[in-house]
Amino acid sequence: MLFFLIFLIPSAAAQNIQTMLVGRFLDGFAGSAFLSVAAGTVSDVFAPHQIQEPMMLYTLAPFIGPVLGPAIGGFINDFANWRWSFYVLIIWTFVMLVCVIFVPETFHPTLLARKAAAIRKSTGNEEYHSPSEIALAGKTVSSTLLHSLSKPFELLILEPMCFFLCIYSALLLGILYLFFGAFPLVFRTNHDFTLWQNGLTFLGLVVGFVGAIFMNPIWHKNYLRLVANSNKGNSEKNQKPEPEFRLPPAILGGILVPVGLFWFGWTTYRSIHWIVPIIGSVMFGTG
Specify if 121 maps to a domain: no
Give domain status of residue 84, yes or no: no
- Check residue 94 and give its pLDDT: 94
Residues 6 or more apart in contact with residue 247 via CB below 8 angstroms: none
Residue 200 has pLDDT above 90, yes or no: no
Domain membership flag for residue 109? no
Domain count of the fold of the chain: 1
Question: What value does the mean pLDDT take over residues 207-215?
Answer: 85
C-alpha span between 262 and 9 (Å, rounded)? 40
In a domain, 175, yes or no: yes
Residue 65 domain-assigned? no
**Mean pLDDT for all residues in the chain:** 85
What is the C-alpha to C-alpha distance for residues 233 and 31, in angstroms, rounded to an integer? 47
241 found inside a domain: yes
In angstroms, the Cα distances linking 231 to 82, 217, 220 are 57, 21, 17
pLDDT for residue 231 is more than 90: no
Q: Is residue 114 part of a domain?
A: no
Tell me what pLDDT residue 172 has.
Answer: 87
Tell me if 203 sits within 8 A of 71, measured CB to CB. Answer: yes
**Percent of the chain residues topping a pLDDT of 70:** 97
For 105-153, the pLDDT digits (tens) are 888 888 888 888 888 888 888 888 888 778 777 788 888 888 888 988 8
pLDDT at 234: 64
Secondary structure (3-state) at 179:
helix
Give residue 203's domain range: 160-287
Structural domain contains residue 34: no
pLDDT one-digit tens code per residue, 240-260: 677 778 788 888 888 999 999
State mean pLDDT over 154-174. 87
Residue-wise pLDDT for 74-106, tens only, equals: 888 888 888 998 999 999 999 999 988 888 888
What pTM was computed for the model?
A: 0.73
More confident residue, 232 or 155: 155
